Chains A and B, each alone.
Chain A
Amino acid sequence: MYANEVPLFKMKKDIIIAGVGGQGNIFAGAVMCRYAIEKGYNVAGTETIGAAQRGGSVVSHIRIADGPIHSPLIPAGTADVLVGMECLELLRNFHMLGPNGWYMLNLYRVPTVYTNLGIDRYPTMDEIFESLNLHALKGVSIPATAKAVELGASQTTNMVLLGALVRADGFFNREDVRALVGTSSPARFRSSNLDGFDAGYDFRPDVSESVS
């Protein structure tokens, strides 16, 4: 939390969604923003979308507060929630989390050009969990992409994660977010997006001190 003696906010929620191009990162963020705006909060943010369509890293910063927001970028070491849509991308943004932050990891790994060539090594899941658990932050991991594939639409990974996030974080209200998923989705993706959202919500993620 901010050290300022006179806190700027009673409520601040800084969320980072980190993934790779094509995972629907920006759409999931847009739904959260719409929700917060409907609840009367100030909302700001930014995203790195330069290479979004070509397999590069994509990061959305979503800032929700009941006071003025200056920087569109969430400062390092202050984020409240980190959603890793892909394992490496969660690790890459882990330093953004603040002392009371928590994270949600999608158990899904996309190799990089360098790991594919054997120049870099993609860490094993054991190594990833071991590294994360050295830090006393709460976290949860869910197989969102596997669930989306099971539902027949791998591109709804973002909605599975959103459903799980809404269940885990009391800031969000299920019915309101679900309604926004419905109204924000293009017609041909509406029902699969809602299915994904519901499946994510049903994961009942248990945000605990360690992930495995």
Chain B
Amino acid sequence: LEKKYVMGNEAITRGAVEAGVKVAAGYPGTPATEILDRFVEYPHVHAQWASNEKVALEVALGASLAGVRAMAVMKHNGTNVCTDILMHLNFTGVSGGLVLVSADDPGGLSSQNEEDSRILVHTYANLPVFDPSSALEAKAMVKEAFILSESTRMCVALRPVMRVCHSRAIIPFENYDPADAPLAHWVDDRERYIMSAVEVRELGGIKRPQARHRWLNAKYREIQTLFENSPFNAIEDGEGDVALVGCGIGYSYVKEAQAIIGSRLPVFKLCTLPIPIDRTLRFLKGKKRVVVFEELEPVVENLIKELCQEHHIDVEILGRSGFYPSDGELTVSTVIDALRRAAPSLENNRPPKVRRLSIDIPVRTRTQCVGCAHRALLYNVKRIARKQNGIVFGDIGCHDAGAFKPLELQSTIYCMGSSVPMATGAFFAGEGRPVFSIIGDSTFFHLGINGFINGTYQGATQVVILCDNGTTAMTGFQPHPGSGVNFYGEISSHVDLVKLGESVGATVFTVDPYDLDATYETLLEASGTDGLSLVVASKPCFLRASREGINLFEPLDGVRVDEERCNGCMMCINDFGCPALVYDAEVGKVHIDEISCVKCGLCINVCKRGAII
């Protein structure tokens, strides 16, 4: 036994390894990415970055039915993508332990939305969910999830929130022997694995979906009973008739909050779904008011309210439904405020004084890195879109920052792969303005490819600009089917984007985004072409290349602004927006920040007055 100071994500990886996982598949997405990334240290496990999360879960399911322990790893948006397979594997059950890790991002710190994937997995698919309160508990829960999954033949989900994934803690690494893990042994079980509208003879001819639904409902109740004794739930006695329920990270904040203000309200640590009925009823006994702290929706709060109604219990249940904010990440401050309002006896338990500055603090938004090829490409797309009054549909990836100030190029950002079909729809709406979409390579392989094939097939005139940097850059350089390497960095097959586009029937163009003039001309030609045009803009990620000591361009000796010529028109900042270009309001001119400038010299061509030299 060894102790290591690691991220919650790595604790989850280690838990799965100690549990004997054989196959792990996922798609990168903050805050879940490192869970799969870390399998690189355990080559006896087959790990893979799948092209999307649904594929990942299906890979893991196939491995589970073949008898081994398997895991699928994703962020909440990915779990949405998985909904279809999730709503089938819940009916069939599994064979080898199958664990779905769905990491949530309350507050949307690194996401396009904020949501609570417990609803999809538990409330919709009726599957059990563990909601870890810490990195240490997450590791214990993964191991328990495999055991529970195998004993009940149910897929079990772990739902860590970002503060668990990205927390760091001292974690024990226990010994394991890969030889202890179950071996593959496929057993046909058509009664379960054939999900189709076929009559079930033994049940009087009802259809298979209804029969499996009956099984699922019984399983749910069985697991609910098992959770009466779950080590992840615990009642902690305290004083008074106002009590607290802490779910997942909410429990940790409750403990911290009580320590800070010196209160001793009773606490129910409740980190499983379904919730245990008897244990919950025991906790509610003699209470007047209970506040539930959970991320992010009132899931447990509503379950306890249902229980109170069914059992005619007169306890006021408060929580996410409005007693404290119904959106955003929980904090200790939120908990302290809520429990002082819930328990008037805490009037003298003062919260920490929070100092406020008397000064306006500007927000800091992100943009592309200095030197990034996306910036050069976005600059040209903006020129073309402006010239032709086009509408630009955006997608997920580093290039999405082109939608923010200063460029404000893309008019939409939704979910993975949505840019191309939305442009198709706008075209057929008869909008009349030319339509463009900007999508990255990893997103293209994820779900973008479906809309791309559809757009070509339907005959929409639209331009698809594929920002191909050869990797999933935003999450830390995970490979994808176009990278030419697999999870382990070994040479693999790779999709040729040009051939793919041609075989689908698109008119394909290629550009080097660093070549500003040629890119402009090609984009102009593409936008004048009937049908779907695919512009493949291939250039490795600058950040990754610079870390690996690879030069994507010959750095100039120096880049500077000729103050005589600069008239402060701001065109370089508005249309190009490199963070190394700094506007000095006092002199009304732009200068180049030497610390951040990487001397790519692209901005020299952007200034029409020739003031950047």
Q: Which A residues have a C-beta under 8 Å from some C-beta of B?
A: 2-5, 8, 20-21, 33-34, 37, 42-51, 53-57, 70-73, 75-78, 88-89, 91-92, 94-95, 97-99, 110-123, 127-128, 131-132, 134-135, 137, 145, 149, 154
> Roughly how many angstroms separate A43 CA and B573 CA in the complex, as a whole number?
43
Q: Is B389 an interface residue (CB 8 A)?
A: no
* Structural contact, B110 and A50, CB atoms closer than 8 A: yes
Known: A45-B168, A116-B573. A91 touches B361 (CB 8 A): yes
Q: Which B residues have a C-beta under 8 Å from some C-beta of A?
A: 5, 30-31, 109-110, 134-135, 163-164, 166-170, 252-253, 255-257, 259-262, 331-333, 336, 349-369, 398, 401, 404-406, 543, 570, 573-574, 577, 579, 581-583, 585, 595
Contact sample, A vs B, 21 pairs, CB 8 Å cutoff: A2-B259, A3-B261, A4-B262, A43-B168, A50-B110, A71-B256, A76-B354, A77-B355, A88-B361, A91-B359, A111-B583, A112-B362, A112-B364, A113-B364, A113-B367, A113-B406, A113-B577, A115-B362, A116-B581, A123-B359, A127-B359
Known: A34-B5, A55-B369. A95 touches B354 (CB 8 A): yes
Q: Which of A49, A50, A71, A113 contacts B332 (CB 8 A)?
A: A71
* Structural contact, B5 and A37, CB atoms closer than 8 A: yes
* Structural contact, B355 and A97, CB atoms closer than 8 A: yes
> Roughly how many angstroms separate A22 CA and B295 CA in the complex, as a whole number?
30
Closest chain-B Cβ to A97's Cβ sits at a distance in Å of 6
Closest chain-B Cβ to A25's Cβ sits at a distance in Å of 14
> Roughly how many angstroms separate A109 CA and B364 CA in the complex, as a whole number?
12
Closest chain-B Cβ to A126's Cβ sits at a distance in Å of 11
Contacts of B252 in A (CB 8 A): 70-72
> Roughly how many angstroms separate A145 CA and B168 CA in the complex, as a whole number?
28
* Structural contact, A112 and B365, CB atoms closer than 8 A: yes
* Structural contact, B355 and A50, CB atoms closer than 8 A: no
> Roughly how many angstroms separate A114 CA and B362 CA in the complex, as a whole number?
7
> Roughly how many angstroms separate A110 CA and B563 CA in the complex, as a whole number?
21
Known: A73-B163, A75-B333. A122 touches B30 (CB 8 A): no
Contacts of A110 in B (CB 8 A): 579
Closest chain-A Cβ to B53's Cβ sits at a distance in Å of 19
Which residue, of A76, A114, A117, A135, has the highest number of chain B Cβ atoms within 10 A?
A76
* Structural contact, B255 and A70, CB atoms closer than 8 A: yes
Known: A44-B169, A54-B367, A57-B364. A77 touches B5 (CB 8 A): no
Known: A3-B262, A88-B361, A91-B359. A111 touches B582 (CB 8 A): yes
Closest chain-B Cβ to A69's Cβ sits at a distance in Å of 8
Which residue, of A55, A95, A98, A116, has the highest number of chain B Cβ atoms within 10 A?
A116
- Secondary structure dominating the interface of B: loop
Q: Can you name the residue of chain B whose Cβ is closest to the Cβ of A29?
A: B168
* Structural contact, B365 and A46, CB atoms closer than 8 A: no
Closest chain-B Cβ to A127's Cβ sits at a distance in Å of 6
* Structural contact, A77 and B405, CB atoms closer than 8 A: no
Contacts of B30 in A (CB 8 A): 50
Closest chain-B Cβ to A175's Cβ sits at a distance in Å of 21
* Structural contact, A76 and B110, CB atoms closer than 8 A: no
Contacts of A94 in B (CB 8 A): 355, 357
* Structural contact, A55 and B355, CB atoms closer than 8 A: no
* Structural contact, A118 and B585, CB atoms closer than 8 A: yes
> Roughly how many angstroms separate A25 CA and B405 CA in the complex, as a whole number?
26
Closest chain-B Cβ to A178's Cβ sits at a distance in Å of 20
> Roughly how many angstroms separate A48 CA and B168 CA in the complex, as a whole number?
12
Known: A42-B170, A121-B362. A95 touches B583 (CB 8 A): no
* Structural contact, B367 and A55, CB atoms closer than 8 A: yes
> Roughly how many angstroms separate A45 CA and B331 CA in the complex, as a whole number?
14
Known: A75-B256, A77-B353. A123 touches B331 (CB 8 A): no
* Structural contact, A2 and B364, CB atoms closer than 8 A: no
Q: Which of B355, B398, B582 contacts A116 (CB 8 A)?
A: B582
* Structural contact, A154 and B405, CB atoms closer than 8 A: no
Q: Can you name the residue of chain B whose Cβ is closest to the Cβ of A60?
A: B168
* Structural contact, A75 and B352, CB atoms closer than 8 A: yes
Q: Can you name the residue of chain B whose Cβ is closest to the Cβ of A99?
A: B353
Contacts of A119 in B (CB 8 A): 405
Contacts of B367 in A (CB 8 A): 54-55, 113
Known: A34-B5, A122-B362, A131-B358. A70 touches B166 (CB 8 A): no
> Roughly how many angstroms separate A5 CA and B336 CA in the complex, as a whole number?
17
> Roughly how many angstroms separate A75 CA and B164 CA in the complex, as a whole number?
16
* Structural contact, A51 and B167, CB atoms closer than 8 A: no
> Roughly how many angstroms separate A70 CA and B257 CA in the complex, as a whole number?
9
Contacts of A145 in B (CB 8 A): 595
Closest chain-A Cβ to B607's Cβ sits at a distance in Å of 16
> Roughly how many angstroms separate A8 CA and B352 CA in the complex, as a whole number?
16
Which residue, of A49, A51, A56, A97, has the highest number of chain B Cβ atoms within 10 A?
A51
Closest chain-A Cβ to B541's Cβ sits at a distance in Å of 10
Contacts of B363 in A (CB 8 A): 112, 114, 120
Q: Can you name the residue of chain B whose Cβ is closest to the Cβ of A74?
A: B332
Contacts of B581 in A (CB 8 A): 116
Q: Which of A46, A71, A121 contacts B168 (CB 8 A)?
A: A46
Closest chain-B Cβ to A79's Cβ sits at a distance in Å of 10
Q: Can you name the residue of chain A whose Cβ is closest to the Cβ of B358?
A: A131
> Roughly how many angstroms separate A121 CA and B166 CA in the complex, as a whole number?
33
Which residue, of B135, B163, B361, has the highest number of chain A Cβ atoms within 10 A?
B361
Given A4-B261, A55-B579, A123-B360, 15 more pairs with CB closer than 8 A? A43-B169, A46-B167, A54-B369, A71-B252, A71-B255, A72-B163, A95-B355, A110-B579, A111-B579, A113-B404, A113-B577, A115-B362, A121-B362, A122-B362, A132-B357
